[in-house]
Amino acid sequence: MSNTISFYINLIDKALKERENKKSPANLYEPITYTLNIGGKRIRPALLMLSNNLFGGKDEAALNSALAIEVFHNFTLLHDDIMDEAPLRRGHPSVYKKWNTNVAILSGDVMLMQAIQLLSKKNHPNLHRTLSIFNTTAIQVCEGQQLDMDFEESSAVSIDDYLKMIELKTAVLLAASLKIGAVISHASSDNAHHIYEFGKNLGIAFQLMDDILDLYGNTEKVGKRIGGDVIVNKKTYLLLKAQELATGKTAKDLDFCLTSKVLDDASKVERVTAIFNTLNIKKLALDEMNLFYNTAISHLDSIDAPAEKKLVFERFAKGLMNRES
């Protein structure tokens, strides 16, 4: 079937492999090919294609825009790895590690321009709206990244601040992908709004679930070390909620865990988890996640489209929220 997410993921993967980057200068274009070929879930471009399909659009009208979203997303990863000093990306050396920082910056810049070229390639009647959504979203993603970096140094981050940061850094690109697909297919303004809000709220719920799984997930199923956020004092929803609720001895114990130079990683994770459990943090985080998830589903329900075509979005949303812990 052509209206399944796996169909569009395969379509995007094939189209990316068929794209030819210039060969020269090699140090500019080889990192781009390398980045796009080392994997990725292709979820955002696949959702753009599905959204276009939902509102009766043709696949060929949306493909270049879908590729643009994937190229842009990978551009942000190139620069994120530099800022985060991350040596690996999808199990492979990061571009700045395999080449160098300057190459990664410049190749990333070219990817941004390539994304805009791809968006502009199909001169459909709604091109202006598509570019406007893309440009606004690109700025928002940068704002989210800056907030994330600012939070590392700030001791006055509220839960509202955190939710705004993950909305900008993570959720708006998912939402924009869906809205661009809707706009290309000439969906009504109401439908474009609802599909955007579906994606935005689902993206926030997804990140909150990530926060929960980082501490309460199963290492083998989650695919990363449990408690990594706790070890580095990352300001997640869980930590911020605990700091908001903790009083007296509990607050002192939490502060000790966050500032101690003598606690080893395992002991720190164990003690912080115990404090979180005392404050019922896992349930509160799940409640917050479900609030955003249910809001997303409410917007999906409000879309004027055949129920059977909306089912793929509902299943996708449930899959994100039901990742095994």
pLDDT cut 70: percent of the chain above it: 95
Mean pLDDT score, 187-193: 97
> pLDDT tens for residues 237-285?
999 999 999 999 999 999 999 999 999 999 999 999 999 999 999 999 9
Nearest alpha-carbon partner for 18 in 64, 84, 85: 64
> pLDDT tens for residues 112-135?
999 999 999 866 778 899 999 999
pTM for the whole thing? 0.93
Fill in the amino acid letter for 166.
I
Q: Three-state DSSP class for 113?
A: helix
- Spatial distance between the Cα atoms of 86 and 175, rounded to a whole number of angstroms: 26
Mean pLDDT score, 2-29: 87
> pLDDT tens for residues 75-92?
999 999 999 888 888 889
pLDDT of residue 224: 58
- Spatial distance between the Cα atoms of 313 and 323, rounded to a whole number of angstroms: 16
Q: List the domain range (segments joined by +) for residue 114.
A: 1-163
Query: Would you call 232 exposed, middle or buried from its count of C-beta atoms within 10 A (0-12, 13-18, 19+)?
Result: exposed
- Spatial distance between the Cα atoms of 55 and 184, rounded to a whole number of angstroms: 9
Judge if 238 and 151 occupy the same domain. no
Output 314 or 19, whichever has higher pLDDT: 314
> pLDDT tens for residues 88-112?
888 899 999 999 999 999 999 999 9
Judge if 59 and 207 occupy the same domain. no
Query: Would you call 24 exposed, middle or buried from its count of C-beta atoms within 10 A (0-12, 13-18, 19+)?
Result: exposed
Confidence of residue 298 (pLDDT cuts 50, 70, 90): very high
The residues, any chain, with a CB within 8 Å of residue 70's CB and separated by 6 or more, are: 12, 16, 36, 40, 42, 44, 45
CB atoms within 10 A of CB 223: 9
pLDDT of residue 220: 60
Fill in the amino acid letter for 175.
A
**Count of structural domains, the chain:** 2
- Does any domain span residue 180? no
Judge if 86 and 227 occupy the same domain. no
pLDDT of residue 20: 73
pLDDT of residue 90: 84
- Spatial distance between the Cα atoms of 273 and 288, rounded to a whole number of angstroms: 19
- Does any domain span residue 5? yes
Alpha-carbon distance values, 100 to 76, 104, 107, 138, 279 (Å):
16, 6, 11, 24, 45
CATH code of residue 293: 1.10.600.10
Judge if 19 and 154 occupy the same domain. yes
- Does any domain span residue 176? no
